[in-house]
Homo-oligomer: A and B are copies of this chain.
Amino acid sequence: MKPIGEVNPPARILLTPGPANVEPRVYRALLAPVLGHLDPDFLRIMDDVQVLTRRMFVTENRLTFPVSGTGSAGMETAMTNLLEPGDTALITVAGFFGERLADMARRTGAEVIALESRPGTPVDPQQAREAARGKKIKLIGVTHGETSTGALNDLDAFRQVTEECGGLLVVDAVATAGGVPLRVDAQRLDVCFTGSQKCLSAPPGLAPFTAGPRAEAVIGKRKTGVTSWYFDLTYIMKYWGQERTYHHTAPISMIYALREALRLVEEEGLEARWERHRRNAQALATGLEAMGMGLLVAPPHRMLTVTAVKIPAGVDDRKVRGRLMEEFNIEIAGGLGELKGKIWRVGLMGASSTQNNVLLLLAALEKCLLEEGIKLPPGAGVAAAVQAYQQAPVHGEPAQGEPAAAR
């Protein structure tokens, strides 16, 4: 029988579109002793997590809690509770994750109209307006940041269309919440969800979720039952709501970790955090362009937490990513679907979004590209990024591995 030793993964620098690096304080929270899911002390911790999640989403929504699954579980919770056979939904499909949202919407038996865009561009809200004409639209589902291309959809424009057609606005903020400006109540989003392992920098396994009163009313008026028991909000909210009626056992240790991650978000301040993500993404973009590489997405539509850069002609995608991992311990992501081999995707999310990581990646990439035989202006990427930082000085940016409290 093959012996299996102690788990001993390397400590990578995670510059993918998630998971992001996890701060030491969050790891420490994982060590808090597991409680029973109805222990009064655990119920108080659930209260805290709900308060902190509301602050992170900038919402007063009662129905705010972490779904017991990864980001896609949040997505499925939204679709499976809001849609039923006979409904019509408009879904933005700007890439792989829009496709996923449309797939989940279709599985509910609803009619789904996919609003597609060219890879690297956001979906034109006018498309939604035209598709909605003469139809009763139950919801418009919008991927805020399309992680597969790095394009950002315009929530405010889609909200306007939603209000014109009277539907709900459902927003997949898996790759943006905590990293890109997002205010659920002020932007009148009816439903919004994210993942614990992206800009919130906890380990993967929870999907913070919020739904407003209009969404609650829609769920209350369903004609058919929800096909999923695990994701049935009516029951889940009896556990997370006042009643505290047992539904399923919450992932206790992960709830501790999310609580600590949300405390870190609050200590940094949401606006400071958004600004940190913006500044680092901008320095990275400036650096990559100075190295002669083109970005996939035009400046006004970049999502900032994920940057898609075109792989220079003649460069072996897998070889460069392999070298980054083996020589520099850095993971970045490749393209998905038709963008496979054509782009790299660099995530700068949560604790991974630091000046140190930007400068190191540009330097490491320079070495990798030189070894692939690409001609580059020496040091140009790092120099341009340094200059970008000089123009937008870094205040209180968390160093990798340094707890935010020490800032």
Q: Which residues of A contact B (CB under 8 A)?
A: 1-2, 4, 6-12, 14, 16, 18-19, 21-22, 27, 29-37, 39, 41-42, 45, 48, 51-52, 55, 68-73, 76, 80, 100, 103-104, 107-108, 195, 197, 203-205, 225-231, 246, 248-254, 256-257, 259-260, 263, 266, 325, 331, 333, 336
Contact = CB atoms under 8 A, between A and B. Distances in A.
Contact of A7 (B2, B4, B45): B45
A325 B36 CA distance: 11
Nearest to A41: B9
A36 B345 CA distance: 13
A384 to B, nearest CB: 27
A51, A68, A103, A333 — most chain B CB neighbours (10 Å): A68
A21 B7 contact: no
B42 A197 contact: no
Contacts of A197: 34, 249, 252
A51 B12 contact: no
Chain A interface mostly helix, strand, loop or mixed? loop
Contacts of A254: 203, 205, 251, 253-254
Contacts of A226: 107
Q: Which 8 A-B pairs have the closest CB atoms?
A: A205-B251, A203-B253, A72-B248, A11-B33, A30-B30, A227-B227, A204-B249, A76-B230
Nearest to A39: B331
Contacts of A256: 7, 9
Contacts of A259: 4, 7
Given A68-B69, A103-B229, A228-B76, A8 B32 contact: yes
A31 B27 contact: yes
A12 B39 contact: yes
9 contacts: A9-B32, A12-B39, A36-B333, A39-B325, A39-B331, A72-B248, A72-B249, A107-B228, A204-B252
Contacts of A33: 9-12, 22
A328 B138 CA distance: 53
B107 A36 contact: no
A55 B4 CA distance: 12
A404 B256 CA distance: 25
Nearest to A76: B230
Given A9-B33, A104-B229, 9 more contacts: A19-B35, A27-B31, A68-B69, A69-B230, A72-B230, A80-B228, A197-B249, A204-B250, A230-B231
B16 A203 contact: no
A389 to B, nearest CB: 27
A4 B251 contact: no
Given A10-B41, A32-B7, A203-B251, A229 B100 contact: yes
